[in-house]
Amino acid sequence: MTGNSADFVSVISSDLRGSTTSTQAFPISKMTTSSKKIAFLAAALLLTAIVGYTAADMANVAICIRNCAQCKKMLGDYFEGSLCADTCVKFKGKMIPDCENIESISPFLNKLE
């Protein structure tokens, strides 16, 4: 039993010495060409999805701010345009105000006294 445990310890210790410099989680040199292509394609698709999602958010924010400016022109001092634009940025264009829909612009209306 002593001989087996000594062999086990020597294998483990030699394995640990080499693991810090030569072992990788996914060694690229051992990947086949097809698996490299699949990994590259997956990375490209992920990047495209992230960029597309961010671009869509920015387009919604721009539409929201344009609608805020239009409502400010239509309603004048009764409409808080800067509050509307700040809300567009804060919520990333999820809520787009419609000047003819009182429910969508009610948070930005004020009473002139």
Q: Where are the domains of the chain?
A: 57-112
The CA distance from 57 to 55, in Å, is: 5
pTM more than 0.75 = no
Q: Across the 113 residues of the chain, what is the mean pLDDT of every consecutive 10-residue run?
A: 54 52 56 78 77 72 93 93 93 91 93 71
What confidence score (pLDDT) does residue 39 get? 81
What confidence score (pLDDT) does residue 3 get? 52
Strands, DSSP E only, in the chain? none
The CA distance from 87 to 89, in Å, is: 5
What confidence score (pLDDT) does residue 33 get? 78
What confidence score (pLDDT) does residue 97 get? 93
What confidence score (pLDDT) does residue 27 get? 58
